[in-house]
Amino acid sequence: MKFIDKLSKASQQNKSWLCIGLDPDPELMPRVSILDFNKAIIEATADLVCAYKPNFAFYEALGKKGLGILEKTIKFIPSHIPIIGDAKRSDIGNTAKAYAKAIFSTFGCDAATVNPYLGFDSIQPFLDYNDKGVFILCRTSNPGASDFQGLTCITGLPLYEVVAQRAKEWNTYGNIGLVVGATYPEELKRLRQLCPEMPILIPGVGTQGGDLALAVNYGVDARGGKAIISISRQILYASSGKDFAQASRHVSMEFRDRINRLISG
């Protein structure tokens, strides 16, 4: 099944455009193992999400043990829910090919985040897995995004718009999406206009200060979909006690229902 079809099916089944980032931070977690923490979060929220998004950095930081936890976490996610491997990879030809194989074949993710800075040949190995989703970093949610992404190019357009235009040109298989932060709502609105059919992965709601209403209203397509609202810390660390899983479910349900009201309203 192609990523976009799997995403749409999960969204319809769970009535959700909420994506939970599985980014375990031992300093913020309750006193349980990372794998047990992830499993509890997944069990508590699997009927409330359209996708899960493990950020590889949190697992790589733990070395070999962490990669094993990542692998087991991915296998624990129900098979009908898409997994976005948030690895932000990019490199030249053969190296990019190895990165794509690692994320899609070795770990079994349904989609990946990639950095377009090295150009098309760094992204093509990911696109060649034409049943997988490829989310290109376009206007990221961090404060330093403006250092480069907002610069005016020789065409007169800001760099993030040029990235979006190139993404449209490269979208031969229909498997490209964009990463656009909720912290830049006007840019999100513009990028949705430029790419009306693409899925957009929208981080930055919650702890980073992005406005949920603007993220939903500006991010959805003409049918009220394809805006994947990614939230991590507010859900994962809703409680530091033994009730952390139940608390995460409660917050997840609140976010899902708020997103749905914004779409329908």
99: domain CATH number is: 3.20.20.70
Q: How confident is the model at residue 130 (pLDDT cuts 50, 70, 90)?
A: very high
**What single DSSP character describes residue 153?**
P
145: phi then psi, degrees, rounded to nearest 5: -55, -35
231: phi then psi, degrees, rounded to nearest 5: -130, 135
Which pLDDT score, from 0 to 100, does residue 139 have? 96
Share of the chain above pLDDT 70, in %: 100
Task: Mean pLDDT check: name the lowest of 10-14, 86-90, 107-111, 140-144.
Answer: 140-144
Which pLDDT score, from 0 to 100, does residue 209 have? 81
pTM: predicted TM-score of the whole model, two decimal places:
0.97
Known active-site residue 53? no
Evaluate whether 61 touches 67 at the Cβ level (below 8 Å): no
Identified catalytic residue from 9, 15, 39, 88: 88
Instruction: Provide the mean pLDDT of the chain.
Output: 96
Give the domain range for residue 171: 3-264
57 to 142, 156, 168: CA distances (angstroms): 16, 35, 28
> How many other β-carbons are positioned within 10 Å of the β-carbon of residue 210?
21
Number of domains the chain is built from: 1
pLDDT in tens, 21-33: 999 999 999 999 9
pLDDT in tens, 206-259: 777 889 999 999 999 999 999 999 999 999 999 999 999 999 999 999 999 999
Q: How confident is the model at residue 1 (pLDDT cuts 50, 70, 90)?
A: confident
**Residue from 167, 151, 246 nearest 199 by CA:** 167
